[in-house]
Chains A and B, each alone.
Chain A
Amino acid sequence: EVQLVESGGGLVQPGRSLKLSCAASGFTFSDYNMAWVRQAPKKGLEWVATISYDGSSTYYRDSVKGRFTISRDNAKSTLYLQMDSLRSEDTATYYCASLLPGYPFAYWGQGTLVTVSS
């Protein structure tokens, strides 16, 4: 059974940092590109970042470029999102999701809530 389990969310002050993790199981993690997608409270879905299957390529939405870093450890089947210089508008539930060519966001985690507030 495919499982993606996020962790690391919580309440953080503006300007501070937080690192999210996503532990994968039930599929060959190292074969899949992966992504983070977020959803602000009562709002729609927003793609945040993508990393290639081997970690060699990364892509970010403009609003997080230079502040967020996506990475992965294929030996541990784990995806990460380092979030620095957090802003109130980063408050959201963050989901990790799989990305195979032709199979966009087929697998999702349950999400982890990040609240940026003083």
Chain B
Amino acid sequence: DIQMTQSPPSLSASLGDKVTITCQASQNINKYIAWYQQKPGKAPRLLIRYTSTLESGTPSRFSGSGSGRDYSFSISNVESEDIASYYCLQYVNLPLTFGSGTKLEIK
């Protein structure tokens, strides 16, 4: 199974800050990583797939990058509506595996 090591577990940011979350896979996942946003009590929402492709409706302040085993997800100009937990997912192999999540809070 591919393990996804996500960090940090939590982030505290001010409005307008840029924040970055990382995921490291236990093996090369060939850019098959997606990023999800989950607000309390809601289902996750797909934001980015294949490392850096923004889904329709995803604001341009969200971005993703990486290759091989190492990937990152960033939010520039954090807004109050970005308060949520964020998860990475590798989908190159079964079992599909998620990172442990990052909770974003506003200072």
Contact = CB atoms under 8 A, between A and B. Distances in A.
Interface stretch (A7-15, A40-48, A66-74, A75-83): A40-48
Interface of A: 35, 44-47, 50, 59, 61-62, 95, 102-106, 108-111
Contacts of B36: 45, 105
Main secondary structure of the interface of A (DSSP, over half): strand
A104 B95 contact: no
Contacts, number: 50
Interface in B39-64: 42-46, 49-50, 55
A47 B89 CA distance: 10
Interface residues of B, number: 22
A104 B46 CA distance: 8
B77 interface: no
Main secondary structure of the interface of B (DSSP, over half): loop
A106 B55 contact: yes
B91 A104 contact: yes
Nearest to B43: A108
12 contacts: A44-B98, A47-B95, A50-B94, A103-B49, A104-B46, A105-B34, A105-B36, A105-B46, A106-B55, A108-B43, A108-B45, A110-B42
A99 to B, nearest CB: 8
A59 B93 CA distance: 12
Contacts of B45: 108
